[in-house]
Amino acid sequence: MSTLTLLLLLAGTLLVTALALYALLLWRRVWAQRRNLAQAESQRRERLAGDLQVLASSLLDSQLPLIEGAIRIKVLLDNYDTALSQDSRCQVFHLLFEATAQVPTHANWKALDPGERRQHEKRFNELELQHKAAARTAARWLLDEGLKHPGN
């Protein structure tokens, strides 16, 4: 074997080794990023589960208005676990959300004239009377079973 062939073989080996080390470095970054994303997702789910527990407990203890609690629970459930959100035992939250979707919020609520506000409040009271038991049952189920499911 000639010197040139040996030098080319050595250069090729060094190049392949350098590329392999660089590929390993890049894969380590990918693995670390995946691990960080999984950890962030786990923390997000834990935070949402905790928020859902607080809301469900507050709804059951009447510390939170039923309509407001149902809306907040529905939105958090959608972000926490769509399968759990679509569970038939949680449908009351969707129903109340949809029944109040057209109601203005925040500054728009304050801008309503008192008559319009009273009409909405009357509708809230009707909805609460009609769905209070189902919402409380759903909140209790979330606390006792829904949020404790192994997939959640």
Q: What is the pTM of this model?
A: 0.82
What is the Cα–Cα distance from 76 to 55, expressed in whole angstroms? 10
> ∠149-151-152 over CA atoms, to 5°?
65
* Confidence (pLDDT) at 81: 95
Q: Write out pLDDT tens, residues 25-48.
A: 999 999 999 999 999 999 999 999
What is the Cα–Cα distance from 66 to 58, expressed in whole angstroms? 9
Structure tokens at 88: 């038939």
* Confidence (pLDDT) at 121: 92
Domain residue limits, the chain: 45-148
Instruction: Name which of 3-7, 38-42, 64-68, 108-112 the model is least confident about.
Output: 108-112
* Confidence (pLDDT) at 146: 94
In this prediction, residues 8-30 reach a mean pLDDT of 97
- Measure CA of the first residue to CA of the last residue in the chain; give whole Å: 65
